[in-house]
Chains A and B, each alone.
Chain A
Amino acid sequence: MTDVAAHTATSPRFKDNAKAALADADLQNALKFVEVNFIARRREVADKLPEFEALRDSARDIKDHTLAHLDLYLEAYEKRVVDHGGHVHYAVTGEDAQRIILDICRKLGARTVTKGKSMVAEEIGLNDFLAANGVTPIETDLGEYIIQLRHEMPSHIIAPAVHLTKAQIESDFRRVHTHLPANRNLVEPVSLLAEARGVLREKFLAADVGITGANFLVAETGASVIVTNEGNGDLTQTLPKAHIVLASIEKLVPTLEDLSQLLRVLARSATGQEMSVYTTLSAGPRRPDDPDGPSEYHVVLLDNGRSSMVAGPFRDMLRCIRCGACMNHCPIYHAVGGHAYGWVYPGPMGAVLTPSLIGIDKAGHLPNASTFCGRCEEVCPVRIPLPRMMRTWREREFEQHLSPATVRGGLAFWGFFAKRPRLYGIATAMAARLLARAGRARGRFSWLPFASGWTRHRDFPAPQGSTFQARWAERERLARILPSPASKVMVGGRGSGRDARALGPPP
């Protein structure tokens, strides 16, 4: 585990972040895209593929198999890369990975590096570290480029700038691209794209080192695989003198055949495409007959706490292929967006992964801020039981006495009665009668003590009177005294149910 970038986490302030997000009109506007488009597109391509559910099973099994033999596959992968003339570096922590990458840059005298989109680079805070050490990183994925201009973190793992409106991006471009005519037309989204492309083209040509992430690493061939829709990854890894792949260890898959299955579920789950536009494999430096490519090839394999997850209750999380479907379908994410989660990984996958990486003491809100609606698990291409693992984090938190005192106190009070059904019956019958009397005139409450979280936004219905169990017991008692054709089978009376009510104690 590392403290790199974790110190910047605002996850402990999740509640404040969420409130601010809910009040941010631009953000709320931008988030509609996720809620509407991502979901509809995934649905459409999933429905078109009869074997989609079977593919998900297969994807899960491939990742499970790999995790069970991770050491063997890592070894095989490393051997292939070395055979191709590349170098493999193991980084236990984020600091290790930073240092390894900086060393490579320094040896080459690198002043600028271009970067393909990499969540692992975000995880280890690579950009800030490189910049602080005299190497200028330039993000080349459009979304990443935009948030780099804004000094922000990605708000979504596949659509880093999804929290922004077009107007916000236009104003950032005008603020930063001061060498371009001030009166240029940026109304159409495509003009923003063209402008970014023009600016980035020079950066690609000038970069000394290109750093990419990896969607998968193939043990069979030593290939590192990236999928993009912009082609920026290809330019990042082919043009500079050196290509550095930064990937976490769970990105391994055994064979190219396995890769092809995972690619089929990845694109469908992520963007609702059948395939991403570019799927690029690289396995080593430029060979003598290659027309282009880097002369050095490095792979930095990051552990950062993952090998300890292999043995624990969060192992299934290592199956994650970072498609973003869980957050695309999450009502909490739809409401507050990705930045509220306060660190690199948002949404349900972040709610499980973030506590593993920065600690449950910092990230405790994340697995708690879920209704357990189960939509994330329903769409996860590798069937990660996300709600179950969020609950496991809540258990850890409870065991370590990290949950808030109000929650623990409330639970203890409620638990005392819930464990004693007879006493519970007496207490609830009293409470029901009291509340019913207090709420009789309006039928509901617009304010209740101890429930202001509820009544701040909603009314609370007044109970109907005595509890069901008290009424039922009374009904049974009367039935014994006054034997009638209304036996147990005829509860609620014939047809209308009015008899049952008449038999109960007066409301």
Chain B
Amino acid sequence: MAEPVARRVGLFVTCLVDLIRPSVGFATAKLLADAGCIVEVPRQSCCGQPAFNSGDRATARDIAQRVIQAFAPYDYVVAPSGSCAGMLKVHYPELFRGDPNWQPRADALAERTYELVSFLVDVCGVDRVAARLEATATYHDSCSGLRELGVRDQPRRLLATVEGLRLAEMRDADVCCGFGGTFCVKYPEISNAIVGKKAAAVVATGADLLLAGDLGCLMNMAGKLQRDAANIEVRHVAEVLAGMTHDPAIGVPAPASGEVKR
């Protein structure tokens, strides 16, 4: 009997994971590999969203063309981010609408692009993970993943299979954390007010772990919780699903002794 052909996945790791938290990239690669995918990482920088959302279409298009070319060879493109996956899936076709050369290529890329957790569940049919973590977690729905890509139940379904993990829903889990890319530095006071409400909602759950699927939102919420001296660990959902929580949580220093936490 012929083996089913493995899915060849180009990992779009996202600029934030690349720079700030590579362990999320490795957790993503592991989850994809466990789901039977062949994972490759073509050279990449960013999806171009900062330019796109700042009105600089020319730069956004330039970057998008590079991404489209670099990821053309793969069956699927997967990103551990609803925001970046949404950029490729929803906004690239918008960027090239009416362009006879690039629109078909943008459409073709869009069709094959997925956010990590929804890819695992909806495409690979993953219904459980082999991970274990003693913790009470609360999950924040990042806006782009939720509203552009329909990521809501998939992460909760997989998290429910993590041994030892309890999920405590926060109030307004689907409300923006106030990150918004460049928004958070252009309008820092407003962003702070929004993430302040989010942090309060997180604390109110009594959870000791905050999870989400987008590093931008996670850095924003972690930074606020830490500034407020709240004792809550913040991690990307992929780290927990992959059972890779040995690295210190976001913004937490590595123990001096070299011992791993958790």
Contacts and interface: CB of A to CB of B under 8 A. Distances in A.
B62 A467 contact: no
Contact of B251 (A397, A418, A443): A443
Nearest to A472: B41
A395 B41 CA distance: 32
B182 interface: yes
Contacts of A260: none
Contact of B45 (A22, A421, A446): A421
Interface in A434-460: 439-444, 446, 451, 453-454, 456-460
Given A391-B52, A497-B30, A332 B190 contact: yes
Interface string A395-406: 111110001000
B55 interface: yes
A300 to B, nearest CB: 36
A372 B180 contact: yes
A455 to B, nearest CB: 8
Interface in A452-502: 453-454, 456-469, 471-472, 488-493, 495-498, 500-501
A326 interface: no
Nearest to B260: A498
Interface in A16-41: 18-19, 22
Contacts of B139: none
A458 B192 contact: yes
A497 B20 contact: no
B30 A331 contact: no
Contact of A460 (B29, B38, B190, B223): B223
Given A458-B195, A467-B18, A469-B44, A496 B243 contact: yes
B243 A490 contact: no
A335 B190 contact: yes
Contacts of A428: 15, 18-19
Nearest to B30: A492
B68 to A, nearest CB: 13
A453 B15 CA distance: 20
Contacts of A420: 45
A491 B39 contact: yes
Interface string B29-44: 1101100111111011
A459 B227 contact: yes
A385 B143 CA distance: 15
A471 B27 CA distance: 13
Contacts of B251: 443-444, 459-462
B46 interface: yes
Interface string A117-154: 00000000000000000000000000000000000000
A370 B55 CA distance: 13
A419 B63 contact: yes
A3 B164 CA distance: 64
A394 B66 CA distance: 23
Nearest to A391: B53
Contact of A501 (B70, B148, B193, B247): B247
Given A451-B185, A459-B223, A22 B43 contact: no
Interface stretch (A95-103, A243-251, A265-273, A373-381): A373-381
A457 B63 contact: no
Interface stretch (A77-85, A172-180, A315-323, A407-415): A407-415
A337 to B, nearest CB: 11
B252 interface: yes
A314 B186 CA distance: 25
B26 interface: yes
B184 interface: yes
B231 interface: no
A371 interface: yes
Contacts of A492: 26-27, 29-30, 33, 242, 244
A463 B21 contact: yes
A378 B144 CA distance: 12
A336 interface: yes
Contacts of A444: 223, 226, 251-253
B243 A497 contact: yes
B156 interface: no
Dominant secondary structure of chain B at its interface with chain A: helix
Nearest to B234: A461
B55 A403 contact: yes
A370 B180 CA distance: 7
Given A471-B22, A507-B254, A22 B6 contact: no
Question: In this complex, which of B20, B38, B184, B254 has the most chain A Cβ atoms within 10 angstroms of its Cβ?
Answer: B20
A469 to B, nearest CB: 6
A422 B148 CA distance: 30
A398 B59 CA distance: 12
B55 A395 contact: yes
A373 B55 CA distance: 17
A371 B226 contact: no
A183 B190 CA distance: 41
B57 interface: yes
Nearest to B59: A415
B128 interface: no
B206 interface: no
A432 interface: yes
Nearest to A332: B190
A488 B38 contact: yes
A424 B22 CA distance: 16
Contacts of B246: 496-498, 501
B226 to A, nearest CB: 4
A369 interface: yes
B258 to A, nearest CB: 11
Contacts of B23: 464, 501
Given A457-B192, A463-B21, A500-B29, A373 B253 contact: no
- Give the residue among A331, A443, A444 with the most B Cβ atoms within 10 A: A331
Nearest to B60: A415
Contacts of B178: 331, 371
Interface in B145-194: 147-148, 175-176, 178-194
Which 5 residue pairs are nearest across A and B when measured between Cβ atoms? A371-B180, A458-B223, A492-B30, A443-B253, A398-B55
23 contacts: A335-B190, A370-B183, A371-B178, A371-B179, A373-B180, A394-B55, A398-B55, A414-B51, A418-B15, A421-B70, A443-B248, A446-B227, A457-B188, A458-B224, A468-B13, A468-B17, A469-B13, A491-B29, A492-B29, A496-B244, A497-B26, A497-B242, A507-B254
Given A403-B54, A500-B30, 16 more contacts: A335-B190, A368-B187, A369-B190, A371-B143, A371-B191, A373-B176, A394-B55, A397-B55, A419-B45, A443-B252, A444-B251, A446-B227, A460-B219, A461-B21, A467-B18, A472-B41
